[in-house]
Amino acid sequence: MNKKYKNVSDLIKSMDLPKEQKQEQIDHINSRRLSRLLTMMRTQKGMNQQKAAEKCGCTQSRISKMEYKEDRKLTIGELLDYSDALDMEMSVIFLPKKLRIVDHVKLHAAQIEHLLRYLVKLSKGDKAMEEAANSFHNQCMKKMISMIEKSQKSLRPHKKQVLNVIGPQEVEQLIEEETACV
């Protein structure tokens, strides 16, 4: 059975090609991450390019060009038009380079906290809204706890191993005698 690969870059790395050629191919794949994301979002919505073009108020060929453009060549205007066509909002986030996964989790937690506070602020004074917000807090709490528990349970627990050392019989006897004397 041949080896299987999780992505095209890994597959290219495995091939017997000149080093520079491999790097050029991987760089080319990485240069189209954003445009690839656009294609993925459109197909997830079950939309073809023609439909997206109609919603965007442009031609199908413009949509096609956006989906093949290198990320550096895509304009903010094009991204805004595209997200409009998919009924989505675009937001830009600037993050420090090499952010750790735990920092990402903390960042999301801070965002959740901020949004919940905003919800409380909005609902204050209105009984129905306050009740709804309260029930939402309960829902959130249950979901978060179960999510974290599930993730923690999937970690492999490391059992502490006890190391037993047994010596030759004479030595064991000697040790026993010595401990008896003490």
Q: By CB neighbour count within 10 A (0-12 exposed, 13-18 middle, 19+ buried), where does 116 fall? A: middle
The least distance separating other proteins from the CB of residue 28, rounded to whole angstroms, comes to 5
Q: Measured from the CB atom, is 7 or 169 closer to other proteins?
A: 7
Q: Hey, what are 161's tokens?
A: 């191993």
Assess contact for 132 and 123: CB atoms under 8 A: yes
Assess contact for 35 and 67: CB atoms under 8 A: yes
The least distance separating other proteins from the CB of residue 55, rounded to whole angstroms, comes to 17
Residue 71 binds other proteins (CB under 8 A): no
Nearest C-alpha neighbor of 116 from the set 128, 124, 127: 124
The least distance separating other proteins from the CB of residue 56, rounded to whole angstroms, comes to 16
Residue 127 binds other proteins (CB under 8 A): no
> For the residues of 62-95, what is the DSSP string, one character each?
HHHHHHHS-GGG--HHHHHHHHHHTT--------
Residue 59 binds other proteins (CB under 8 A): no
Q: Hey, what are 153's tokens?
A: 């349970």
The least distance separating other proteins from the CB of residue 89, rounded to whole angstroms, comes to 20
The least distance separating other proteins from the CB of residue 8, rounded to whole angstroms, comes to 4
Assess contact for 35 and 74: CB atoms under 8 A: yes
Residue 9 binds other proteins (CB under 8 A): yes
Residue 68 binds other proteins (CB under 8 A): yes
Which residues are near other proteins by CB under 8 A? 2-9, 11-12, 15-17, 21, 24-25, 28-29, 32, 36, 39-40, 43-44, 46, 48-49, 64, 68
